[in-house]
Structure formats: C-alpha cells, structure tokens
Amino acid sequence: MEALKDFLVKKKQGSPLDIERGVGYLSVHVPEEIIIGAGKVPFRILGSGKPAKLANAYLPKTFDPHVLDSLEGALDGSYKSLEGVIVANVSDAHRRLYDAWRLGTDSAKVFFLDVPKGADSLRVKSFRLALSSLMRDMERAFGVQISKEALRDAIRLCNETRSLLRKLSDMRKDKTPPFTGERFFEMVKWSQTHDKRTVNDMLKEYLEELDGLEGSGTDGPRIMLMGSLMGSPELIYLIEKLGARVVCEDLCVGMQYFSSLVDEDSNEPLDALANRYLAIPTARMVDTESRWNYLLRMAEDFRVDGVVYFTLKFDDIYLFEYPHIRNKFQKAGHPVLFIEAENFWTSLGQIETRVQAFIEMLA
Amino acid sequence: MPITETDRQKQREYFSLQFQKRMKRPRSYSPLQGSQVRERAMYKLLMESFRDTSTVIWKSTFVPSEIIYALDAIPLYIESFSAMAAAVDICPTMLDASERHGFSRDSCTFLRGVMGASLKDILPRPDALVSTSYYCDGDPKIFDIFAEEYKKPHFYLQVPFMVDEEWSRDILAEQLEEITLELARVTGKPFDKDRLSEIINNTNEASRYFRQAMELRRHVPSPMLGCEAIDYIGAISQLWGSKELVRMSRLLCEELEERIDKGVAAVGDERFRLLWCHLRPYYNDEVFNYLELDQRAVVAFESVNLITWQDMDPQKPFESLAEKLLANPAIGPCERMTGWVARMVRDYSIDGIIWMAPWGCRHFNSLSQLVKDGLRKEMDVPFFILDLECIDKRNYSKEQVRTRLDAFLEILAEKSG
Ligand code: SF4
Ligand code: SF4
C-alpha cells in the first residue's frame, strides 16, 4: 500500500516516468500479456497532460485531444525511457498517431496492431492474425521469443490484477463505499502503469486493509461516469467535491480494463487473448446493442442515480454514440448529463455549475 | 408523429422534383454525355430504391456494390444521399434535425446529414446494411444505430490497415463471402457465383475505361473540367458492377478522345493545373467555377477518381474484391498516400495541390500535414489545405473562400515566374 500512496503523491508532483523495460500502449484493446510475454512492462500512455504544440506540426487541431497530447509527450521526450510503443487501430486518430510517432521521433520501435470492431468468429480470427504479426514484430525488435508458456504466465498474472480490481470495484455497490471514485481511478491507472507483480501485491495488501472496515464518506447521489478516455481524475474529483459519488464507470481507466477474464485453460493462448480483448464492450465496437445491455446492467448493479456522459471534443466515437445512448438511458429512467470538453485537465472550471445543478437535481 | 405512406409518397415526389430541377439547372459548362448518363443512372437508382418492392441494401463508401448487384438488390450508397440532398438544397434541414437530436457540429456532416434524413424519415428504407471499418469511425457506428432503428441486420467489414500482411487479403475475402451469403439469407435473394463473375467482368470493363480516361486526362490542356469530373465518384462508389457504369465510362473515354482530337480544351489558355484532394462542396459550383473558369486554374485531376487496382479475376471474385479494397491509398501508413499523390502530380503535370479539409472529417484531415511534409521531401509543389464543408453551406462564405484561393494562386503565379 505504501508504494501506491507513494505513487499517488509523486504523481501529483508530476514526477518523471520512472519505469524500466517499459513498453507503452494506448488502447485498452492491446493485450498487456504480449508485452509481459516479451519480458517487458506494459505502460499505459494516458497523455502527457500538455497542450499540443509540437503535435500540431503533424496532426490537425480538430483531433482527438488524447491522441494529440500523447503525441506531444512522444515529441518532447516525455516517453523516451520507454523501449517501444504499440499503437492500435482503434480509431481514425490512432491510425495517424502511428504515422506521426514514427516520423516525428527517433524511437525505432513503434508497433502497430489492427483491432477489429466486431467480436464474431471471423473478426476474432483476424485479430489473432494481427496479434501474431505484432508478436513477430516485437520478437524481431527486441530479439526475444514470446513462448506460449510465457503468455500463459502473463495471462494468469493479468487475470489476477483484473480479479483484484473487480473485488475492489464491487465494494462500490455498498451504500457507502470505503474509498472514493477518485481513489479507485488512481488505482486502476496505477495498475496499468506498473509491473503487475507489484500491482497485485499492493492490491492484495489494500484489500486486506479494507477488510472489515466500515464504509465512509458521503451517501450523496450515485453517479455512473462514462465516455472518452480520461488520463486524470479531475472530473471525478469535481463530481465528488460537489457531494456526489462516482460508483462505477464505463471508462478504459476503469471497469473496461477488468471487464472480463482471459481463458487460462485454452491450448492456444493467442486465441484466448483475441477473444477476450475483442469482448471489451467499448464504444468503438459496432455492436451497440450488447454495449447498451452492458451499460444498463452496470447502472442497475451499482444502483446509480444518474449518468455523466463525458466526451472529448472531436472524439467521434462518442459524439456519434451519445444521442443514442442518452435516449436509452432516459427511457430506462436514468437522468443523463452531457459534458463535452477540450481536454480533461484545463476546461473543467466552466462545467462546474452544470455538474452542480445535475447533482442537486438528483439529490 | 409517425410518417404515413402518403407522406412518404409526397417526400418521394418532392425529391424527384428537386432532382429534376437540379438536372435542368443552368451550368457553367455543357456536360458530357457520360455525365448526363451518370446523373440519370443515379437518379433512377434512388427512385427505384424508394419502391416498396425493391430490395435495398444500405452501404457505406467502400462496401463493394458488386456483391449487392449479384443478389439483384439495390446498393444505396448512403453518404451520397447527403451529397444529393445538398445539391437539391434540403440538407440544412437534415443537419438541423440531427443537431437538435444531439449530434455534435464537430462531427462529419455527411453522416449527420443522413442521420437527420433518417430522423425525418425521408430515406429509402433498408432491407439490410453493410459498412466498412474505413474510412472512418462514425460510419460503422451510425450504421449500427440505423440497423436498430430500422430493425434490419447490419454487417460490418473489417478492412485490415496493414495491407502488406499476407493474411490481410484472405481474411478480407472470407468476410466478403460471409457477408454476401448472409445478405442472401436475410433478403431471401439467392446467391449465384456465376452472376457475381459476370458483375466482376462489368467492373473490369468499366475500370479499364476509367483507367483510359485517367490516361486521356493527362493531356495538356485539360480536356475536362474538374468540376464535372469529380462528380463521377458518387456513381463510381455506387455503380461498380453495373452495365450503366460500363456505358458511362465508355462514353466518357470516347468524348475525351474526341475533344483531344479536335483540340477542345476545358479552359482556354490554361494558367495552372491543380490536383484536388477529397470531395467537393455539393451545395454549389462556385469554388470550382472561380478557379477553373475565372482564374483558368483547371483542376486537372482529383484524388477520388484514382483507380489503383488491377483487373480482377472473375473466377476468384472475393479474393479480387479484397485486393481492390486493399489497393486504396488511404489504407496503410501515410507514405502510401504520399506516394500516390506524388504520382498524380507527375502524371498530370500539376502546379499546385488543393487539399480540401472539411471540419468534421478526421480521416482525411489527419493525413493533410503528413502528406504535405512527405511530399516536400520529394518535390517542390505548393500544397494548400482548404477548410471547406462538403454539404453544410450554413457557414460558407464566398468571399472568404475566394480570398484564400487568391492567396494560393498568387503563390503559384510567383512560382511560375
Ligand atoms: S475512444 Fe476516443 S478518446 Fe479514447 S482513445 Fe479512442 S478516439 Fe481517443
Ligand atoms: S467525409 Fe470523412 S468522416 Fe465523413 S463519411 Fe466521409 S470519410 Fe467519413
């Protein structure tokens, strides 16, 4: 637990990236197991938190802000301690991030992964092929072999992380959860940026600490938060500061990360990975109906009072999904607040009044 | 309020009237016969798709219409509906409707236009829908939403980005076959492989003519206005595999040849030759007229009219269609697009490039700077990124666009001494 606290403190002070053998990845659809199988440490790139300046020389301003500020980090050297980076074809923006990262930096190891938007058998097959191409590229670049055994070990390790986070997350179903939504966000983020063994030890320790502890904090309105990627918890902090509590989230730094486990017993670990990573019901996947069922179940399981739907400007996936999902939530009796922001760290001031009004309405 | 069949009938008639007006509109040029055939074919297809007895399959840009024709169904290229609607000036109300519904003004107007049209229920109803993973994220997403609204199945084609991977073609071919059989099943239309082979032959024939037209258009001075040529893309995306496309492409070639023989130029005393990338404004011809007719800067070629694939093998229709899809320059690392643009600059003796950048089109705008920089390493050709909407005329200002074009033309003038 100390390490987690340490990390949280350091992070607030903006400490430099201190990871060794790190391989960066940006999307929750990239199997961390492959990175671990190659003897590296997966590091989720969540944006450098800097406004795009250098990045605009490569990509337009009317572009996914998360991609721009990750590129900014790549160009200004923030990620130079990483040994490589995997960019996945999860959106139009990410595809070109792959080009810009390659052309704008001298880091030779920029890998690409195609990720289908469907999860039926042919799409899974296609994803498995894409994963083997990625493995081949990484093996060549790092001079390693990624064995089936190594993948199986990595699957077990990551499954443990997922199960631990799920246990923690489930505690939020209680009337007064023992930690804030902000703290939970930090834990998930931390789990995506550190060596999984350390992560699992810390999470276990934390769970023990919490054992038998009474929940504390407000029992204000219970909020489900969803939408574009968030690299930092400012919005959660704001919601909680105003008296509500974020009890569940459809975010990739959140419940999407541990939405399901990888089959540990499969003879073909790559098949198991392909199946699981396409089963993550993110908004980019085309099956809107199963995504809706997943969202509704979440809202019901966590007994939410309202939904905050957040999108980054120019994040088409959410901009196109929003009206559809809003209507469904409203029909199901869940009020929705829509927030669109330029980025997740500077423009929250302007939305405070709207969040406040929403919470008052729910209370 | 539910829309009745009488309302729909009225909508159809209204649309039909607007379309006819559009075809009779005064033009700044006299259209080629091929272009007239094209407009009529597009109109006919749209009207047929309104009929209750028709089997209509909504498709996005790169879904090969061949598989739909093979089932004797109508491929309705749904984004082109927005373009047509812009041309007959009903797009603003469609866009308003989509915005009132909650769609962001920052997203693609083609897609929002269709969304608005669907909310107003003025679209021919689909029997099934097929989308592809490229060009853009919005496309499969809204197709899936439509599918739910119209209660019809949606199939989605995953086109791999890494075109050079050996498995890319095969996995794509497998999907194409699967989707075709599924479409046959849900529409109750039998699939006949020989029929598909015939249709592939039609595509081969038409693409041979289009390739020939590409050759002919290298001629200086240009035998055809870009303003007219760029409109071929709508038909191209929708009519691949049809006899009409063969006919119009043949006519196009014959007329281009004739013009070249007779020494007819699109623009007298051509000053500059431009390459136009992306689509065009559909709500008026002003930008093209200004460039081509007033300023004699002819758009000698358009990136959208590029044929990048070889003849297909009718005996291996799905593999061939997969190869055709993968030949698209926008797939794969940006160097691929840069390579094709460089080639067009050379082939068409281009003096300057206009890269049109509609606000909401992430896919295309994201390539602009990358291609511009890539080209700079290879050649010295002025590259102008022009922010302009394709179908949303609400913020269009003739003066502003002209001022910007003037600045670009000055650069070209200086360069040519
Ligand atoms: S979902 Fe949107 S914000 Fe998230 S990474 Fe993809 S494009 Fe960016
Ligand atoms: S204009 Fe761009 S964003 Fe819109 S449908 Fe076409 S490719 Fe997609």
Give me the DSSP letters along B104-150.
-TTS-HHHHHHHHHHHTT-SPPPSEEEEES-S-SHHHHHHHHHHHHH
Inter-chain touch A96–B373, beta carbons under 8 Å: no
- Percentage of chain B lying above the pLDDT 70 cut: 96
Q: Which domain holds residue B220?
A: 5-416
What pLDDT, on a 0 to 100 scale, did the predictor assign at position A15? Answer: 47
Mean pLDDT to the nearest integer, A164-175:
94
Sheet-wide strand order for B272-277:
B297-302, B272-277, B352-357, B383-387
Angle between helices B5-24 and B33-50 (to 10 degrees): 180
- Cis geometry, peptide bond prior to residue A31 (ω within 30 degrees of 0): no
B65 with B238: CB under 8 angstroms?
yes
Q: What is the ipTM of this complex?
A: 0.93
Q: What is the pLDDT of residues B209-244, one digit of tens each?
A: 999 999 999 999 999 999 999 988 877 788 999 999
Q: Residues 267 to 306 of A: which have CB under 8 A from any B CB?
A: 283-284, 286-289
Structural tokens at position A204: 């276990």
Residue A362's Cβ-count burial label (10 Å; 0-12, 13-18, 19+) is: middle
In 10 A of CB B276, how many CB atoms? 26
**Ligand 1, pocket residues at CB < 6 Å:** A 64, 66-67, 90-91, 93, 228-229, 284, 312, 315, 317
Q: Which residues from chain B sit within 8 angstroms of residue A89, using beta carbons?
A: 161
A24 with A86: CB under 8 angstroms?
yes
Inter-chain touch B171–A89, beta carbons under 8 Å: no
Residue A325 has pLDDT above 50, yes or no: yes
- In single-letter form, the type of residue at position A245 comes to R
The residue whose CA is least distant from atom 5 of ligand 1 is A229
Give the whole-angstrom CA distance, residue A343 versus residue A253.
16
What pLDDT, on a 0 to 100 scale, did the predictor assign at position B31? Answer: 83
Residue B194 has pLDDT above 90, yes or no: yes
Inter-chain touch B141–A320, beta carbons under 8 Å: yes
Q: Which residues from chain A sit within 8 angstroms of residue B360, using beta carbons?
A: 62, 316
Of A132 and B417, more confident:
A132
Residue among B43, B85, B187, B61 nearest B135 (CA)? B61
Q: What is the pLDDT of residues A13-58, one digit of tens each?
A: 444 466 789 999 999 999 999 999 999 999 999 987 788 899 999 9
- Alpha-helical (H) ranges within B120-270 are 138-150, 166-187, 193-216, 226-229, 232-239, 243-262
Q: What are phi and psi of B191, to 5 degrees?
A: -100, 130
Residue A82 has pLDDT above 50, yes or no: yes
Inter-chain touch B367–A96, beta carbons under 8 Å: yes
As for how many domains chain B has, the answer is: 1
A206 with A1: CB under 8 angstroms?
yes
Residue B57 has pLDDT above 80, yes or no: yes
The residue whose CA is least distant from atom 4 of ligand 1 is A229
Give how far B141 is from chain A: nearest CA, Å: 6
Which residues does B406 contact at the CB level (< 8 Å), separation at least 6?
none
Structural tokens at position B140: 């499969």
Average pLDDT, chain A: 91
B396 with B281: CB under 8 angstroms?
yes
Inter-chain touch B373–A103, beta carbons under 8 Å: yes
User: Domain A16-149: which topology?
Assistant: Rossmann fold (3.40.50)
Nearest to B369 among A59, A93, A288 (CB): A59
Give the whole-angstrom CA distance, residue B57 versus residue A222.
44
CA of A70 from ligand 2 middle (Å) equals: 24
What pLDDT, on a 0 to 100 scale, did the predictor assign at position A302? Answer: 96
DSSP state of B394: T
Q: Which residue of A has its CA nearest to B140?
A: A286
CA of A164 from ligand 1 middle (Å) equals: 26
- Which of B58, B139, B280, B368 is the best mutation target for the ligand 2 pocket, counting ligand atoms within 8 Å of the beta carbon and taking the most? B139
B382: pLDDT confidence band, cut at 50, 70 and 90? Answer: very high
Q: Which residues from chain B sit within 8 angstroms of residue A324, using beta carbons?
A: 145
Ligand nearest to the CA of B109: 2
Q: What is the pLDDT of residues B266-288, one digit of tens each?
A: 999 999 999 999 999 998 899 99
Tracing tokens 């406040």 back to the chain, one arrives at: A356
B153 with B130: CB under 8 angstroms?
no
What pLDDT, on a 0 to 100 scale, did the predictor assign at position A90? Answer: 93
Size of interface A-B (CB pairs under 8 A): 136
What pLDDT, on a 0 to 100 scale, did the predictor assign at position A14? Answer: 44
A124 with B398: CB under 8 angstroms?
no
B87: pLDDT confidence band, cut at 50, 70 and 90? Answer: confident
Nearest to B162 among A116, A133, A322 (CB): A133
Cα angle A159, A162, A165 (rounded to 5 degrees) comes to 150
Q: Which residues from chain B sit within 8 angstroms of residue A87, using beta carbons?
A: none
Q: Residues 49 to 78 of A: which have CB under 8 A from any B CB?
A: 57-60, 62-64
B334: pLDDT confidence band, cut at 50, 70 and 90? Answer: very high
Give me the sign of the Cα torsion angle B83, B86, B87, B90. Answer: positive
Q: Which residues from chain A sit within 8 angstroms of residue B131, using beta carbons?
A: 286
What pLDDT, on a 0 to 100 scale, did the predictor assign at position A11? Answer: 47
Residue A67 has pLDDT above 80, yes or no: yes
Inter-chain touch B365–A62, beta carbons under 8 Å: yes
A12: pLDDT confidence band, cut at 50, 70 and 90? Answer: very low
Mean pLDDT to the nearest integer, B33-43:
85
B93: pLDDT confidence band, cut at 50, 70 and 90? Answer: confident
Residue B110 has pLDDT above 80, yes or no: yes
Cα angle B282, B284, B289 (rounded to 5 degrees) comes to 115
Question: A130 CB near a chain B CB, below 8 Å?
Answer: yes
3-state secondary structure of A63: coil
Q: Cα–Cα distances in Å, from A179 out to A240, A252, A303?
A: 11, 19, 17
Q: What is the pLDDT of residues A103-144, one digit of tens each?
A: 999 877 999 999 999 999 999 999 999 999 999 999 999 999
Tracing tokens 């894409």 back to the chain, one arrives at: A130
Residue A279 has pLDDT above 90, yes or no: yes
What pLDDT, on a 0 to 100 scale, did the predictor assign at position B305? Answer: 93
Residue A7 has pLDDT above 60, yes or no: no
Give how far A56 is from chain B: nearest CA, Å: 9
Average pLDDT, chain B: 92
Q: Which residue of B has its CA nearest to A127?
A: B160
- Percentage of chain A lying above the pLDDT 90 cut: 79
What pLDDT, on a 0 to 100 scale, did the predictor assign at position A2? Answer: 53
- Which of A26, A30, A63, A66 is the best mutation target for the ligand 1 pocket, counting ligand atoms within 8 Å of the beta carbon and taking the most? A66
Mean pLDDT to the nearest integer, A325-334:
96
* Helices vs strands, H then E, count in chain B: 17, 8
Ligand nearest to the CA of B358: 2
Residue A90's Cβ-count burial label (10 Å; 0-12, 13-18, 19+) is: buried
A206 with A188: CB under 8 angstroms?
no
Q: Which residues from chain A sit within 8 angstroms of residue B158, using beta carbons?
A: 116-118, 122-123, 126
Q: List the single range of B4-13, B161-170, B384-393 with lowest mean pLDDT.
A: B4-13
Of B235 and A287, more confident:
A287
Q: Which residues from chain A sit within 8 angstroms of residue B370, using beta carbons?
A: 58-59, 96, 99-100, 103
Q: Residues 189 to 208 of A: which have CB under 8 A from any B CB?
A: none
In 10 A of CB A216, how many CB atoms? 10
**Ligand 2, pocket residues at CB < 6 Å:** B 79, 108, 110-111, 135-136, 138-139, 361, 363-364
